[in-house]
């Protein structure tokens, strides 16, 4: 089976080109994941590092999906769950997988390859039909992960991505083809087909999605774009700032400043996060102490939506494609827009031949 056939067989409700919703912690919950899957994409709930209330989100998803007729295999819930592995609790996760039967799990930033192998082996043992997705940010990571755990899907994350990722990275335009070349060397026609590759990072609409497909992806993942949908669990101030910001290479940066201010200290040195620049960032760059900056951040939290903005201090994680996000649109509509637009562009590309 080729990648497309595998996708259609593993996730029978999807339409292609495949559009996936990133598992954004605290933001992509049941509403967003379900709408994305209902539109023929694959939605992921962002469990992140804390799985203590994951059952609530899975319950909600199950209820929202109750009256739908999405085609699935083996009683599967047609959405996935995304974990930030260094902080998530595997023992608490196991019964939830058994109970709710998600179509896929998405792993990101494990503390080690051994720990990634534990998560993969144990959850595959519990539910063999569930697909394992792993997000990586470099050629080395791709090779190591594929050799060690043989994921069903490899999410290749370019440095334009919003939120967390490798501090040092490359954009998809060079990263993706190099990863695909390396993966080709790891496959075997008889016993290992390699993972399906999907692309993440800087893709906000059909043009980026088409480019990613040409570079070797079999589907695309969007995070930042879904910050501007009504299903996102996001403060209005945050969403307004995403709509305001443009020229993402200038208005966002990869930094550890926001993690420091928020007290999210568990991330490895190798990782930081891309967010829209604001006063906290500029003060940190100018040398303000973490203590003072954190105090001001805490004060800003009391301001509600006014706490977000260029001159304000609340964190606005978003990717460098933020300038392409200009309106709030339903998650399902976004999926359909990107999928249909990509189809058109790829068909239109024949005109260049």
Ligand X SMILES: Cc1cc2nc3c(=O)[nH]c(=O)nc-3n(C[C@H](O)[C@H](O)[C@H](O)COP(=O)(O)O)c2cc1C
Q: Which is nearer to ligand X, 12 or 237 (CB)?
A: 237
Q: Which is nearer to ligand X, 40 or 46 (CB)?
A: 46
Give the span between the Cα atoms of 195 and 148, in whole angstroms. 12
* Position 163 contacts ligand X (CB under 6 A): yes
Instruction: With beta carbons less than 8 A apart as the criterion, state whether 82 and 23 touch.
Output: yes
* Position 108 contacts ligand X (CB under 6 A): yes
Question: What length is written for the chain?
Answer: 353
Q: What minimum distance in Å lies between the beta carbon of 320 and ligand X?
A: 7
Among 31, 152, 160, 259, binds ligand X (CB under 6 A): 160
Using CA of residue 71, residue 73, residue 76, residue 81, what is the dihedral sign?
negative
Whose structure tokens read 């930042």?
224
* Position 84 contacts ligand X (CB under 6 A): yes
Coil vs helix vs strand at 273: strand
* Position 27 contacts ligand X (CB under 6 A): yes
Give CA separation, 161 vs 251, 298, 340, in Å: 14, 26, 23
Any alpha helices (H) in the chain, and if so which ranges?
A: 3-10, 30-38, 54-65, 90-100, 113-126, 139-149, 172-184, 206-215, 236-244, 248-251, 257-262, 279-285, 290-301, 331-348
Q: Which is nearer to ligand X, 70 or 227 (CB)?
A: 227
Nearest partner of 108 among 131, 88, 130, judged by Cα:
88
Q: Which is nearer to ligand X, 101 or 271 (CB)?
A: 271
Which residues, other chains included, contact 181 with Cβ-Cβ below 8 Å and sequence gap of 6+?
none
Largest pairwise CA distance in the chain = 60
* Position 156 contacts ligand X (CB under 6 A): no
Q: What minimum distance in Å lies between the beta carbon of 226 and ligand X?
A: 8
Using CA of residue 242, residue 245, residue 248, residue 249, what is the dihedral sign?
negative
Q: What minimum distance in Å lies between the beta carbon of 73 and ligand X?
A: 24
Q: What minimum distance in Å lies between the beta carbon of 108 and ligand X?
A: 3
* Position 280 contacts ligand X (CB under 6 A): no
Q: Using CB under 6 A, which residues numbered 312 to 331 contact ligand X?
A: 317-319, 321
* Position 162 contacts ligand X (CB under 6 A): yes
Q: What minimum distance in Å lies between the beta carbon of 241 and ligand X?
A: 12
Instruction: Give the count of beta carbons closer than 10 Å to the beta carbon of residue 193.
Output: 14
* Position 259 contacts ligand X (CB under 6 A): no
* Position 203 contacts ligand X (CB under 6 A): yes
N-terminal to C-terminal alpha carbon distance within the chain: 28
Q: Using CB under 6 A, which residues numbered 214 to 253 contact ligand X?
A: 221-224
* Position 43 contacts ligand X (CB under 6 A): no
Among 20, 58, 104, 161, binds ligand X (CB under 6 A): 161
* Position 22 contacts ligand X (CB under 6 A): yes
> Which residues of this protein are in contact with ligand X, per CB under 6 A?
22-25, 27, 46, 48, 82, 84, 108, 135, 157, 160-164, 200-203, 221-224, 317-319, 321
């Amino acid at each position: 089976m080729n990648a497309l056939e595998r996708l259609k067989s593993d996730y029978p409700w999807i339409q292609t080109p495949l559009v996936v919703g990133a598992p954004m912690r605290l933001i992509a919950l049941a509403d967003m994941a379900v709408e994305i899957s209902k539109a023929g994409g694959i939605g992921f709930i962002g469990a992140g590092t804390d799985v203590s209330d994951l059952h609530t989100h899975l319950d909600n998803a199950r209820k929202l999906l109750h009256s739908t007729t999405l085609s699935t295999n083996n009683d599967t819930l047609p959405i996935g769950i995304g974990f930030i592995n260094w902080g998530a609790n595997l023992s608490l996760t196991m019964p939830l997988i058994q109970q709710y039967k998600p179509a896929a799990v998405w792993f990101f930033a494990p503390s080690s390859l051994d720990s990634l192998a534990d998560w993969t082996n144990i959850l595959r043992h519990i539910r063999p039909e569930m697909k394992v997705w792993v997000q990586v940010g470099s050629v080395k990571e791709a090779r190591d992960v594929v050799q060690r755990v043989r994921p069903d899907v490899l999410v290749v994350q370019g440095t334009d991505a919003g939120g967390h990722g490798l501090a040092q990275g490359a954009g998809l335009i060079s990263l993706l083809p190099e990863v695909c070349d390396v993966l080709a060397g790891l496959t075997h026609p008889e016993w290992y087909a390699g993972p399906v590759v999907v692309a993440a990072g800087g893709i906000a609409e059909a043009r980026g999605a088409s480019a990613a497909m040409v570079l070797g992806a079999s589907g695309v993942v969007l995070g930042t774009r879904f910050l501007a949908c009504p299903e996102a669990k996001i403060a209005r101030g945050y969403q307004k700032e995403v709509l305001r910001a443009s020229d993402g290479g200038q208005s966002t940066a990869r930094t550890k400043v926001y993690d420091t201010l928020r007290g999210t200290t568990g991330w490895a040195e190798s990782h930081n996060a891309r967010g829209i620049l604001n006063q906290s960032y500029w003060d940190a760059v100018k040398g303000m102490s973490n203590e003072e900056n954190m105090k001001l951040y805490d004060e800003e939290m009391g301001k509600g939506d006014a706490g977000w903005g260029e001159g304000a201090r609340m964190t606005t994680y978003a990717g460098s494609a933020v300038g392409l996000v200009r309106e709030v649109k339903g998650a399902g509509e976004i999926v359909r827009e990107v999928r249909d637009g990509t189809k058109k562009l790829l068909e239109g590309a024949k005109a260049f031949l």
